[in-house]
Amino acid sequence: GQNIDQPTEMTATEGAIVQINCTYQTSGFNGLFWYQQHAGEAPTFLSYNVLDGLEEKGRFSSFLSRSKGYSYLLLKELQMKDSASYLCAVRYQTDSWGKLQFGAGTQVVVTP
Amino acid sequence: DGGITQSPKYLFRKEGQNVTLSCEQNLNHDAMYWYRQDPGQGLRLIYYSQIVNDFQKGDIAEGYSVSREKKESFPLTVTSAQKNPTAFYLCASSIRRGSDTQYFGPGTRLTVL
């Protein structure tokens, strides 16, 4: 399978910035998604990148470099409610329908 | 409000019993998916369906079965053949197969005693 690698846990203080990195195998790449998941709840869609560059959505931004097999999710002005797991998912066009491959998630802990 | 519902939120079963998890969506999405989530692991695809009356095995289909008789509904049965059924099960849907953002239901936590 295609490995999606992201750090297990990151800790930051309220108001700070945190960058969550995600690396993946580039062969067959066809898009990258970031989801936020609070404990015991459904993942919710945050962002989608298919071309190189930065996509900004309020306090959250996502960056993609296809040649390097690298993405990051940037969380600015951290709030306590941002404490959650952040899932990186890559779509691979390995067959006719392009399924998602998920990383294990990065647990972000925001401290006061 | 449009969305995906899963019921129940928590489910307990004895070992050896089959159990069916419900997933319903009113988003008019063609494609639906079942994932399993275990601690420290990414979501793993169990089954997916691109259209009514059609479904395909995902990466970990052994011990599971599904049906897609209606566009809105995609129930998952965890059979007694599944060796490690205790997990958090997530249902998702997208407008079409694979090429669109997947939206998730609230999940069902299954515990087999």
pLDDT, one tens digit per residue, over B4-63 is 999 999 999 999 899 999 999 999 999 999 999 998 888 999 999 999 999 999 999 999
Position with higher pLDDT, A16 vs B80: A16
From residue A9, alpha-carbon distances to A20, A87, A107 in Å are: 9, 12, 5
Q: Omega into A43 within 30° of 0, i.e. cis?
A: no
Q: Residue A96: its pLDDT value, please?
A: 59
Tell whether B89 is within 8 A of chain A (Cβ). no
- Whether residue A4 and residue B98 make contact (CB cut-off 8 A), yes or no, is no
Q: Residue A18: its pLDDT value, please?
A: 98
- Whether residue A42 and residue B41 make contact (CB cut-off 8 A), yes or no, is no
Which of A78, A79, A87, A73 has the alpha carbon at shortest distance from A43? A87
Q: Residue B1: its pLDDT value, please?
A: 62
**Would you say residue B67 has pLDDT above 60?**
yes
Tell whether B54 is within 8 A of chain A (Cβ). no
Query: Which positions of chain A have pLDDT values less than 50?
Result: 1
CB A107 within 8 A of CB A9: yes
Q: Residue B100: its pLDDT value, please?
A: 80
- Whether residue A100 and residue B101 make contact (CB cut-off 8 A), yes or no, is no
- Whether residue A100 and residue B102 make contact (CB cut-off 8 A), yes or no, is yes
With beta carbons under 8 A apart, name residues in chain A contacting B59.
1
Quick one: pLDDT band at residue B98, thresholds 50, 70, 90?
low
Q: Residue B41: its pLDDT value, please?
A: 86
pLDDT, one tens digit per residue, over A89-99 is 999 887 656 68
Quick one: pLDDT band at residue B113, thresholds 50, 70, 90?
confident
From residue A98, alpha-carbon distances to A11, A31, B79 in Å are: 33, 9, 28
